[in-house]
Structure 1
């Protein structure tokens, strides 16, 4: 195939797979109330299904680079698409929350391999002169998925049936596997080196037990004693991994990167921020549907506003960073983001739709700037040879923090409902939960405040465009 065509086809295939994953992640949250009714569960209980997907992503992302080098990028990529499609079929066929949660975890495993391996494919299949253009294709799914997903999910849930949302992935996945076989080379490294299997076992088991245990606290699936035991077991495994990482020559997740100030601020401070933002896609559709009585379609037409706010901010991010620098931007914008999240809790029956839409728009505007800044700052002081290992650690922490956000939001909502004494969710139950998750944006400020004033100066100066 001519190089000019390859530079277009390979990124397009990867972008389509990422679009499938992005739409799926955003389509499900709009359908949660309908799914809860089908499973005979309280809507808040379905937080475990959202958390299980994020866990599948977080647990397997760190080993994807090694797996691609060991078995070939094409083999792993098409397998990932296949796993994701199988997970989608299992979701559609699920008749209980337990089977649905397992199916979402399977989807997460497929998604974990699609995204990083897709980037590896692009890096190896296009010329360096075409690399920026190829990577631009990958920005399209990130922008369109959050806009299309809620609308599509809301329409299907309202006018058809929620199970049909998982069939969207089938034709895209089949075409993706076919095109991958035809147009993508099975590149690999001859000697990828050993994998830290023991570290993988400890981190995967610890993260899974801890987050799932927290998700099950106060729920209907298992007694609180079992959930507490899972949390304790997960905490022990995480501690054992920390001890292991200090002795291993090349640990799977190298915690020593946290000694780098900019990486620490980006990943740790950013993870506190992501806890709040990870909760919003779960909380907001519930508030609009269960609290304000909207249909899934109307709810989706409002929640997609955050995606449009994010698109607009991305066009301004480089100018803001050039003008104010990373430290000031991250501190001020975290406060604005926290206020925007908390404001979503002030909606009440009779609030004009345009007001809700405007608040949700701002709720996407400020976080987009924060994510752009955090992702740029993470590698400001990381050596080129360490970028891969630093990315594994950052990706793991980010996914766990997103799952933790959903868990914390669910716990706050359950506590609020219990204190108000409502047998079912009402609009008054939501404002404490939005205030709690909004506070996490403010919690990130002390971490970023420790950055020197000129942190990431070279990057912010170069960001002007």
Structure 2
């Protein structure tokens, strides 16, 4: 039976749904952070430069960006439960393929397959949550949804470091098997089967154009970040730009466009998308830069670096218990403006790290950086849906998640490109500590532009979600 959108689930049921859906995000985040810690070891195994391993991260994000636009339409047509379960199975099978690769090209191919499952898994899970929770409970539901997901980045670095140092990097992909099985069982038993009453025709031309644009731009920026393959990068970027332009022209004339540009007319959604994209360029670079800096710049083992880098995720998890009260006290607009500055400073402070820093000081910086970044994204991910009607949630989730994944991929590309350029300028064969400092400063600059955009939100933005009530403006004499 399809889930009735008119019903109002209890708070405990909403929390249960959020936790079950979070199994998918937990598995995805655990996979990403475990892999990031293992990249230098994998580079040695494949006989490639460590910087070239960035494509292992961006290949997955590329697959997400291409296939996420179809997730909302597919979920509406076939039901969220069926699509969610199939996505978990596909992601798990992709993980097994990754464990068996013997070269970087084969790993990239396996990551693309894995990303096809991820493209449906998390967006459809978010659709389930958005349609199950009343707006007044959405901040709490989002916090519960993200708490188990944030355990992944906490556990991932030390677990990945231990496995890579004492076993083999191939074992890191088998972690997803028991998590995937558990997620399927819980989803089958407890997740509602939500379908849309309105059937829209699948936008195949839009899917092809948007997929071509996103794939070429993501892969083009990845290749360009190496700084040595411009004959490949430039044509890809040109084709991606042309395809993107063609899609914009095409989508303006369509009511069922796979990425609905009309959503950008909603102020809260538009600002969350654009400002959040700038912030994700900064944060997306951290899982790539931090383990690399600890291992290449500090000379640490994978296990030692993992025992440090997990603190950023620990700070993010700690924040989830304070997001609701902070947003209720200060409102979305004020939190987004001032917290953006604190979050940016937290990432920029990583540029000051040296091997001589006390562990406690590094832990403190990473804990604070994770806390403020997590608060920022909780606010972005919630305010985006403040003024949208329920029947627009699927389209909005697909649109928003595409930009989210694209900018996370862009963060990795900017970080890798900055490292390569800095190493070339200073004559380093491999990036050293100075190059990592430059990279952290460069990626931090992007998110500084997000604060002024958030200032354009009205003080009352998202009041129904946060429970914050702005003071009325004084009457004019």
- TM-score scaled to structure 1, two decimals? 0.90
Q: State the SS of the aligned residue for 1:153.
A: helix
Residues 366 and 131 of structure 1: CA distance in aligned 2, closer, same or farther (over 3 Å)? closer
CA distance in 2, matches of 1:127, 1:353: 43
Structure 1 residue 114: deviation in Å? Answer: 1.6
In the alignment, which residue of structure 1 is the partner of 2:312?
306
In the alignment, which residue of structure 1 is the partner of 2:86?
79
1:146 to 144, 153, 156: 153
In the alignment, which residue of structure 2 is the partner of 1:390?
396
Structure 1 residue 122: deviation in Å? Answer: 6.5
Aligned ranges 1:21-420 → 2 under 5 Å: 21-119=28-126, 138-177=145-184, 188=195, 192-217=199-224, 219=226, 223-420=229-426
Q: Which shows bigger deviation, 101-110 or 67-76? A: 67-76
Structure 1 residue 207: deviation in Å? Answer: 0.6
C-alpha RMSD of matched pairs (Å)? 3.0
2:425 paired with 1:426: no
Q: Deviations over 1:262-289 (max 9, x none)?
A: 2221110111011101111111111111
Residues 385 and 171 of structure 1: CA distance in aligned 2, closer, same or farther (over 3 Å)? closer
Residues 7 and 419 of structure 1: CA distance in aligned 2, closer, same or farther (over 3 Å)? closer
Residues 186 and 378 of structure 1: CA distance in aligned 2, closer, same or farther (over 3 Å)? closer
Residues 74 and 328 of structure 1: CA distance in aligned 2, closer, same or farther (over 3 Å)? closer
2:454 to 420, 442, 448: 448
Q: Which shows bigger deviation, 378-387 or 6-15? A: 6-15
Residues 14 and 28 of structure 1: CA distance in aligned 2, closer, same or farther (over 3 Å)? same
CA distance in 1, matches of 2:142, 2:325: 21
CA distance in 2, matches of 1:185, 1:338: 39
- TM-score scaled to structure 2, two decimals? 0.88
Residues 260 and 174 of structure 1: CA distance in aligned 2, closer, same or farther (over 3 Å)? closer
Residues 240 and 130 of structure 1: CA distance in aligned 2, closer, same or farther (over 3 Å)? closer
Residues 114 and 279 of structure 1: CA distance in aligned 2, closer, same or farther (over 3 Å)? same
Residues 43 and 175 of structure 1: CA distance in aligned 2, closer, same or farther (over 3 Å)? same
Residues 65 and 388 of structure 1: CA distance in aligned 2, closer, same or farther (over 3 Å)? closer
Contact 2:88 2:121 in 1 (8 A): yes
Runs of 5+ unmatched residues, structure 1: none
Say how many residue pairs are matched. 461
Residues 463 and 43 of structure 1: CA distance in aligned 2, closer, same or farther (over 3 Å)? farther
Q: State the SS of the aligned residue for 1:144.
A: helix
CA distance in 1, matches of 2:66, 2:237: 16
Q: State the SS of the aligned residue for 2:467.
A: helix
Q: Deviations over 1:122-147 (max 9, x none)?
A: 78899999999987763332221111
Q: Which shows bigger deviation, 67-76 or 200-209? A: 67-76
CA distance in 2, matches of 1:123, 1:450: 25
Q: Deviations over 1:188-239 (max 9, x none)?
A: 557632121111111111011001111011539x832111101110111111
Q: Deviations over 1:167-206 (max 9, x none)?
A: 1112333454466567768665576321211111111110
CA distance in 1, matches of 2:160, 2:333: 38
Q: Deviations over 1:358-399 (max 9, x none)?
A: 111111011112112212221222233323222221111111
